[in-house]
Amino acid sequence: MRILTIALVAHDNRKKDLIEWVEFNKGTLANHKLVCTGTTGRMVEAALNQNRRKDNSNIDITLLKSGPLGGDQQLGAMICEGKIDMLFFLWDPMQPQPHDVDVKALLRISSLYNIPTATNRSTADFLISSPLFESDYTPKKKSFSDYLGRSIDL
């Protein structure tokens, strides 16, 4: 089984959903590396490690900045660098975000780099329960050589 680097992000109104999902999938997530933005990361860390302190087997979570403070952009950069395998981003489509352009950019980059992305709990359930989740599946990487090699007229 391949160890995945999984990004977990949630807007304020969706943090409770993500934490419930994380607690339900704790056994599966414990086998992978986790990367989270800001407050979401601290909440995920508390949820995953609350019963593990006795045996010192805490799950390691990389914490980035809060989304509005650049965490979404940090995560997007990690996707571009090939450091993220999967994104679970429970965003709130009903609440305006002060960093809405960053949210859109993150979702665009995850699509561009063909990263499996869940933006709601149902899709998250489907992704984590897929037989491909625990396999050696590697998403096909798109070549951008035509785009990078295009002629530029000045």
DSSP state of 32: S
Instruction: Compute the CA torsion angle 144, 85, 8, 73 (nearest 10 deg).
Output: -30
55, 60, 72, 102: the active-site residue: 72
Active site annotation includes 72? yes
| Edge-to-edge strands, sheet with 61-64 | 61-64, 33-37, 5-10, 86-90, 117-118
Identify the CA nearest to 7 among candidates 26, 33, 46: 33
Q: How do beta strands 117-118 and 61-64 pair? A: unpaired
The kind and range of the H/E element at 35 are: strand 33-37
122-142 in b/e form (b: 16+ CB < 10 A) is: eebeebbeeeebeeeeeeeee
Q: Which residues are catalytic?
A: 72
